[in-house]
């Protein structure tokens, strides 16, 4: 066994590929069009090969094809285009279908310590993981291990724990419904609710906020609603990059006469103008202008803006313009009087100061709301990753409630999910705070007593590992180390674990920051044919709008040694839970049997197999959407009072958000370019207002170190270095940089109230030449 220190001198932010030529140009004025089609084909054919690549693109998002692993945007229920994909979905597929392999020889050549000094892009570029690998205690290199030995090792570790709560089981949102159901069942039979997931870092604030206001933690609109809305407000979202197929829906809405308002510190290209590559006019014409109004809100200025919007509507209504839907408020809502009083007492001065917008700009947005009978609010991470994120969500909902924009066609809330099945994983019970009714149904179906105490979420997992309370971390997909904030805290926690296990498709930094021993279990991807004892298997996913769809892998697996996630989980359960009443291996031999259990446990999945056999897909019930039914503490939709609370930014400091570039999928970096924002050759940039550059005595292009400041921070210094200043259209006092290179700047304790989501988009920073 080779040994060598596992500690690397280089910080994980080091990126050797940054040496390529750096070019900064003007941000683009339109999205998609021919460059997007070319980029899609180039990515798929260069990585997967011409024949396999073209095949993959034609199966993507088709009824008999596979669900795109890129994002959770829905596919049209009928009339799918021949090529129902986007540039970035194609990149995600190409990345999985790559012909490169990170095999045993690769791991023999590269020590863990050496790989720690490489960039995220370098790690991912080595291709698919093809066989189980083991990092023994004290070893410098991973070495191959048999599947059976790996399962035995995990089972032994788990069964040696003092209590099941000493293990945590993470999930990233690519996992399909069947695997998710099996996973939570195993974890609860093992005896814990420690099921942290990527939702904890993502839309948790939406779930918590919506749960309290309208009683359902999901969106209430369909694709059709979106296309027939009269006004669409897009808050804190960059769909041109992260949900490109949403642009087609926005285009359809525009053609039906909708007005679109973009609320964002950055005037994102995708919301300006869209050239639809599916249409001739998108190829040769000038495309469709999307947003009618752009509101350059300050980072975290949305609570103030939303209070301003509500104030304007309430003022207009009291001046005898029929603006509010009093009947809806009377019949379906609770807490309106208190809300109204609070809004009336909030001054325009505080609203302007808090939002960074003028009263006139807010009135312009209110004009659009008032002229619409059907309004939708869409949002993503710009709203959910702040200290007061839950307030953001609740005020958006309240803004809609004022005009009765819930539970009617063309109106409602639309949290746009990230990972392709993050919403489905929750529906299947991947949740550290399960509902009692769900546990009751599980108890009845499988005749056991599931644990009732809440488990740990993602942030609590890091605290737990640091304190020594959690000794085993098992991760079903994802990149827990890199996606979470505060690498120092996370590394300390992980290194104290007895065992860390990653079920993965590609190499990432979580394979390098491990427990005393570590395992990599390589899994089949969404694109690959999944053959089990009963034949070729189908899985299902739930998209952002509550539609259950099937997904069928189409290409041969990257290696004969790969196992499906379901097979891995079933084997793990069979090894760990001795003499169990459930025949786990029978479930993995035929996924239909898992769906039969889901049908018995989860409302809305009755006749699951039959419905997908006959229809291919079906829509889950949603009380708010279908019947204006609000299952909240008051039995009504709740208005909630929130104060304008701004993050304190000391003089000379800026408030920074962390964002995605056009060429990454979360922690997977494809290239160092961000075409729409005009960045080429580097990810180490800080977007900043020209006047702030001047005020700080700096120059555009200059390289600086970024330091973060947080009142309760116990760390000595949090700093990332060598970031080039890019003069950009962003409000004064605000800045932006890419995730994950900046994740170490965020202390693990800096989280959203109530949802405990890391405040990835409110980081107080200072710059140092």
Ligand X SMILES: Nc1nc2c(c(=O)[nH]1)N[C@H]1C(S)=C(S)[C@@H](COP(=O)(O)OP(=O)(O)OC[C@H]3O[C@@H](n4cnc5c(=O)[nH]c(N)nc54)[C@H](O)[C@@H]3O)O[C@H]1N2
Q: Which one of residues 207, 477, 493, 546 is an interface residue with ligand X (CB under 6 A)?
A: 477
Angstrom CA distances, 663 to 438, 598, 675, stand at 39, 37, 8
Least distance (Å) between residue 631 CB and ligand X: 26
Site for ligand X in 346-375 (CB under 6 A): none
Helices (H), 526-675: 565-576, 584-589, 591-601, 608-615, 623-627
Question: Residue 113 is encoded by which pair of tokens?
Answer: 């310590």
At residue 483, the 3 state secondary structure works out as helix
**Closest CB 507 distance from ligand X, rounded Å:** 7
Which lies closer to ligand X via its Cβ, residue 317 or residue 663?
663
What is the rounded distance in angstroms from the CA atom of residue 456 to the CA atom of residue 462? 9
Smallest separation (angstroms) from ligand X to the CB of 266: 4
- Cis peptide, bond prior to residue 740, ω within 30 of zero: yes
Per rule CB under 6 A, is residue 131 in the interface with ligand X? no
CB of 160 within 8 A of CB of 151?
no
Please report which helix (H) or strand (E) contains residue 307, including its range. Answer: helix 302-318
Stretch of residues binding ligand X (CB under 6 A), selected from 22-30, 76-84, 662-670, 691-699:
662-670
From 21, 95, 189, select the one nearest 525 (Cα to Cα).
95
Site string for Mo ion, 415-434 (x = CB under 5 A): ---x----------------
CA-based nearest residue to 211, from 222, 220, 202, 224: 220
Please name which of 543, 29, 69 lies closest in space to residue 288, comparing C-alpha atoms.
Answer: 29
Residue 306 binds ligand X (CB under 6 A): no
DSSP state of 74: P
Of 98-106, 138-146, 262-270, 339-347: span binding ligand X (CB under 6 A): 262-270
Residue 178 interacts with ligand X (CB under 6 A): yes or no: no
Pairing of strands 703-709, 719-727: antiparallel
Part of the chain binding Mo ion (CB under 5 A), chosen from 202-210, 298-306, 611-619, 624-632: 202-210
Nearer to ligand X, 128 or 628 (CB): 128
119 touches ligand X (CB under 6 A)? no
Q: Applying CB under 5 A, does 202 fall inside the site for Mo ion?
A: yes
Options 167, 411, 483, 570; binder of ligand X; rule CB under 6 A: 483
**The binder of ligand X chosen from 39, 88, 248, 537 (CB under 6 A):** 88
**126 belongs to the binding site for ligand X (CB under 6 A):** no
Distance (Å) of CA 522 to CA 131, 133, 187: 6, 8, 20
Helix (H/G/I), strand (E/B), else coil: 710: coil
Residue 382 sits in the site that holds Mo ion (CB under 5 A): no
Instruction: Please identify, among the stretches 31-39, 131-139, 257-265, 571-579, the one whose residues bind ligand X according to the rule CB under 6 A.
Output: 257-265
* Residue corresponding to tokens 């997908």: 612
Concatenate the DSSP letters of all residues of 219-269 into one string.
----HHHHHT-SEEEEES--HHHH-TTHHHHHHHHHHTT-EEEEE-SS--G
Which residue in the set 213, 287, 760, 767 belongs to the binding site for ligand X (CB under 6 A)?
A: 760
Among 56, 333, 381, 577, binds ligand X (CB under 6 A): 381
Backbone angles phi, psi at 615, to 5 degrees: -110, -20
Q: Is 462 in the site for Mo ion (CB under 5 A)?
A: no
As a whole number of angstroms, the distance between CA 665 and CA 88 comes to 8
Query: Judged by CB under 6 A, which stretch of 204-212, 293-301, 314-322, 603-611 contacts ligand X?
Result: 293-301
Q: Which does 479 bind (CB under 5 to 8 A by kind): ligand X, Mo ion, none?
A: ligand X
Report the phi/psi class of residue 710: left, alpha or beta, with left for phi > 0 and alpha for psi in -120 to 50: beta
Is 668 near ligand X (CB under 6 A)? Answer: yes
Cα 2 versus chain centre, distance: 38
Task: Give the other-Cβ count within 10 Å of 20's Cβ.
Answer: 13
Q: Calculate Rg over the CA atoms of the chain.
A: 25
Question: Quick one: which of 39, 61, 238, 689 contacts ligand X (CB under 6 A)?
Answer: 238
CA pair distance 736, 734, nearest whole angstrom: 7
Q: Is 755 one of the binding residues for ligand X (CB under 6 A)?
A: no
Q: Which is nearer to Mo ion, 398 or 421 (CB)?
A: 421
By CB under 6 A, residue 235 contacts ligand X: yes
> Least separation, in Å, of the C-beta of 100 and Mo ion?
26
The residue (of 266 and 765) whose beta carbon lies closer to ligand X is 266
| Structure tokens, 229 | 């809305």
Tell the smallest beta-carbon distance from residue 317 to Mo ion (Å).
Answer: 37
Binds 668: which of ligand X, Mo ion, none (CB < 5-8 Å by kind): ligand X
What are the residues binding ligand X (CB under 6 A)? 70-71, 88, 172, 174, 198, 201-202, 235-238, 241-243, 263-266, 268, 297, 299-300, 302, 380-382, 385, 418-419, 476-480, 483, 503-506, 508, 523, 525-526, 565, 657-660, 664-668, 739-740, 743, 760-761
What are the residues binding Mo ion (CB under 5 A)? 202, 418
């Amino acid at each position: 066994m080779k040994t060598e220190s596992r500690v690397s001198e280089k910080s994980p932010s080091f990126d050797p590929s940054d040496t390529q030529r750096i070019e900064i140009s003007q941000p683009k004025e339109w999205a998609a069009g021919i460059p997007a089609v070319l980029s899609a084909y180039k990515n798929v054919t260069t990585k997967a090969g011409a024949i396999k690549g073209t095949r993959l693109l034609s199966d993507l998002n088709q009824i008999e094809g596979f669900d795109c692993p890129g994002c959770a945007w829905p596919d049209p229920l009928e009339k799918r285009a021949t090529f129902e994909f986007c540039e970035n979905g194609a990149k995600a597929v190409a990345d999985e279908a790559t012909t490169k392999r990170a095999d045993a020889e690769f791991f023999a050549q590269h020590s863990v310590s050496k790989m720690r000094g490489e960039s995220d892009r370098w790690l991912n570029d080595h291709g698919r993981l093809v066989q189980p690998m083991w990092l023994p205690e004290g070893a410098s290199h991973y070495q191959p291990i048999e599947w059976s030995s790996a399962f035995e090792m995990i089972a032994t570790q788990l069964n040696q724990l003092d209590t099941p709560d000493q293990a945590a089981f993470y999930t990233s949102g690519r996992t399909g419904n069947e695997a998710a159901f099996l996973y939570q069942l195993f974890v609860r039979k093992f005896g814990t609710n420690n099921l942290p997931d990527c939702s904890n870092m993502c839309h948790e604030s939406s779930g918590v906020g919506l749960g309290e206001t309208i009683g359902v933690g999901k969106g209430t609109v369909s694709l059709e609603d979106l296309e027939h809305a009269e006004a669409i407000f897009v808050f804190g979202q960059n769909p041109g990059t992260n949900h490109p197929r949403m642009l087609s829906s926005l285009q359809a809405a525009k053609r039906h006469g909708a007005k679109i308002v973009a609320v964002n510190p950055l005037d994102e290209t995708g919301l300006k103008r869209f050239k639809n590559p599916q249409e001739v006019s998108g190829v040769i014409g000038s495309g469709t202008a999307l947003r009618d109004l752009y509101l350059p809100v300050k980072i975290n200025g949305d609570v103030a803006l939303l209070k301003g919007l509500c104030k304007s509507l309430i003022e207009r209504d009291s001046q005898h313009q029929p603006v509010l839907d009093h009947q809806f408020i009377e019949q379906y809502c609770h807490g309106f009087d208190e809300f109204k009083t609070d809004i009336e007492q909030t001054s325009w001065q505080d609203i302007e100061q808090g939002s960074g917008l003028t009263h006139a700009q807010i009135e312009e947005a209110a004009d659009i709301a008032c002229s619409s009978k059907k309004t939708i609010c869409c949002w993503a991470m710009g709203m959910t990753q702040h200290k007061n994120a839950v307030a953001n969500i609740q005020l958006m909902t309240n803004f809609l409630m004022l005009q009765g924009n819930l539970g009617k066609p063309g109106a409602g809330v639309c949290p746009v999910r990230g990972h392709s099945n993050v919403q489905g994983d929750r529906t299947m019970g991947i949740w550290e705070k399960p509902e009692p009714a769900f546990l009751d149904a599980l108890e009845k179906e499988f005749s056991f007593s599931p644990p009732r105490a809440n488990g740990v979420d993602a942030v609590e997992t890091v605290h737990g590992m640091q304190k020594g309370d959690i000794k085993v971390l098992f991760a079903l997909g994802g990149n827990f180390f890199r996606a979470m904030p505060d690498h120092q805290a996370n590394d300390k926690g992980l290194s104290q674990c007895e065992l860390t296990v990653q079920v993965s498709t590609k190499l990432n930094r979580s394979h390098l920051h491990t427990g005393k021993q570590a395992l990599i279990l390589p899994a089949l991807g969404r694109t690959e044919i999944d053959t089990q004892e009963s034949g070729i298997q189908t899985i299902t996913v739930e998209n952002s709008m509550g539609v259950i769809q099937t997904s069928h892998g189409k290409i041969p697996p990257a290696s004969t040694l790969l196992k499906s996630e379901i097979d891995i989980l079933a084997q793990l359960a069979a090894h760990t839970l001795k003499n169990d009443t459930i025949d786990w291996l029978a479930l993995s031999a035929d996924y239909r049997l898992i769906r039969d259990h889901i049908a018995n446990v989860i409302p809305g999945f009755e006749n699951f197999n039959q419905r997908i056999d006959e229809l291919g897909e079906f829509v889950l019930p949603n009380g708010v959407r279908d019947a204006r039914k609000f299952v909240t503490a008051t039995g009504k939709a709740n208005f909630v009072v929130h104060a304008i609370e701004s993050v304190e930014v000391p003089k000379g400091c800026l408030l920074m958000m962390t964002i995605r570039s056009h060429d990454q999928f979360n922690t997977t970096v494809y290239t160092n370019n961000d075409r729409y924002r005009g960045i080429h050759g580097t990810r180490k940039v800080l977007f900043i207002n020209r006047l702030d550059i001047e005020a700080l005595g700096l120059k555009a292009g200059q390289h600086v170190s970024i330091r973060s400041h947080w009142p309760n921070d116990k760390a000595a210094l949090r700093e990332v270095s060598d970031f080039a200043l890019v003069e950009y259209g962003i409000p004064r006092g605000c800045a932006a940089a890419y995730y994950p290179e900046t994740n170490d700047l965020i202390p693990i304790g800096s989280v959203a109230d109530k949802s405990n989501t890391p405040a990835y988009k409110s980081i107080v920073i200072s710059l140092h030449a």
